[in-house]
Structure 1
Amino acid sequence: MIKILFICHGNICRSTLAESVFTHKVKALGLADQFVIDSSATSREEIGNPPHRGTVNKLREVGIPLVPHRAKQITLADYDKFDYIIGMDTANIRNLNRMLKGDPEGKVYKFLSFAGSGRDIADPWYTGNFDETYEDVVEGCEGFLKYLEEHGELSNKREKKADSK
């Protein structure tokens, strides 16, 4: 199992969007049984709250099911549980490194680094632009799947599914 934890500041916009989009993508590829996918916050501000209505509306608009979720904060125990801890922006990465004792096992990644970019995924809580955030999340998800494939972490199911078409 590949265990992924998507991270943003409050765990109601970007990380829940990434969790739902990535879950949808791996299900469509027939790879869902290879993953544990979750999301968390670096802050405590939104703990217990559902995904932001902008995230819910964007997912509905593009036909991707929302993964049921309530905001929670990452803990040090999560560091041991997950293989990839993926932050949405530079501030998330800085906070994760502080919270996770400097990331001794190299599990913390900036999401768009998988797509060959150092860009931050803008927080739609502030920008109001869920369309742009969605496009960046899709770019990150596709880059991450390619990364996993190139590093031999996905089983042959993806190739078998493609061969059967």
Structure 2
Amino acid sequence: DDVNRRTPIAFAEEGQLLYLLGDTREEFGGSAWSEVVHGHLGGMPPAVDLDREKLLADILIAASRDGMIDAAHDLSDGGLVQAIAESCLRGNTGARLIVPDGLDAFTFLFSESAGRAVVAVPRSEELRFTDMCGARGLPATRIGVIDGQGIDVQGQFTIPLDELRTAHETTIPGLVT
């Protein structure tokens, strides 16, 4: 209702916890990854559950209104890694991530499953936030922390923020000149 109270996508405060909301599945049909790597947009796109989407929206609204989250980004084109990159670049800070048990790194980073978001939760709000998600039946998985000057996925790779910014800001201009 008031744009001044919106929840930004920028990760701003080091030490805040990163949570992945929703269910991650091996859904790559019609994905940005499939198009870039294979030049192919076919296959079955991610399944959409409108009740689950509404639940996610309700939780994001309540968490924002009640001061339980300081940033939020939907997961769609490019999956989690794209959202993390955008949020880090906007906030000029980094993130350290851990692949959750039961997920392979590729699915964790690139799945475009619907009904998901990544949020930054102040440590003081962690219990209240996770209790709310649990009570409403939405998975909330702690995946990392806002920290550093790049994206570090434990055991996988590290990309410095300046390298990420250069790629983000020069790729399209380089293609059209």
TM-score by length of 1: 0.29
Query: Which is strand-richer, 1 or 2?
Result: 2
TM-score by length of 2: 0.28
Quick one: higher RCO (CA 8 Å, sep 6+), 1 or 2?
2
